[in-house]
Amino acid sequence: MIKYQLLCNGDHDFEGWFRDSADFDTQADRGLMSCPVCGSAEVRKAVMAPSISRRGGDRKTRIDAIRSDVVQAARRARDYVEKNFDYVGERFPEEARRIHYGDAKGRGIFGEASGEDVKQLVEEGVQVAPLPSPEWTTAEKKKLN
């Protein structure tokens, strides 16, 4: 297996795992990859630094590095949503349904929903995903520093 850092034509970066270099080429040629942020099928390899094994590091150091990466990714996801999606507050379940059923203009939205609301939306086939709370990302950042 080989991991590549990838970029779409919108300059969103993400990673992908492939059996080998030829597997990446085949999937790219057939348009089988898409950006998880914008859906673009124009995906290319990004410049990458070589991966160096950290076998010498202790377990806590490796776990702290992984935690830091996850917190940074969560923060980037939240920042992206806040800058590019419409905040609809507590109207989220209703507005998500309106968009899903074509009663409102399709667009990215975010807001609040109870666990029961989320369960019902999922059962209806409405695509929803949790968004890390700003308190969580801030608290985790403090733990890392």
Mean pLDDT of 94-118: 95
Q: Which residue has the higher pLDDT, 64 or 137?
A: 64
Which regions of 51-125 does DSSP assign to beta strands (E)?
86-89, 109-111
The reply to whether 54 falls in a domain is: no
Q: Are residues 106 and 99 in contact, defined by beta-carbon separation less than 8 angstroms?
A: yes
pLDDT tens-place string over residues 6-28: 998 888 988 888 888 888 888 88
The reply to whether 30 falls in a domain is: yes
How many domains is the chain built from? 2
pLDDT tens-place string over residues 53-79: 555 567 888 888 888 888 888 888 888
| C-alpha neighbours within 13 Å on the C-beta side of residue 4 | 20
The reply to whether 51 falls in a domain is: no
* Mean predicted lDDT score pLDDT of the chain: 84
Backbone angles phi, psi at 29, to 5 degrees: -65, -35
Q: Are residues 34 and 43 in contact, defined by beta-carbon separation less than 8 angstroms?
A: yes
92 and 138 belong to one structural domain: yes
Mean pLDDT of 108-126: 94
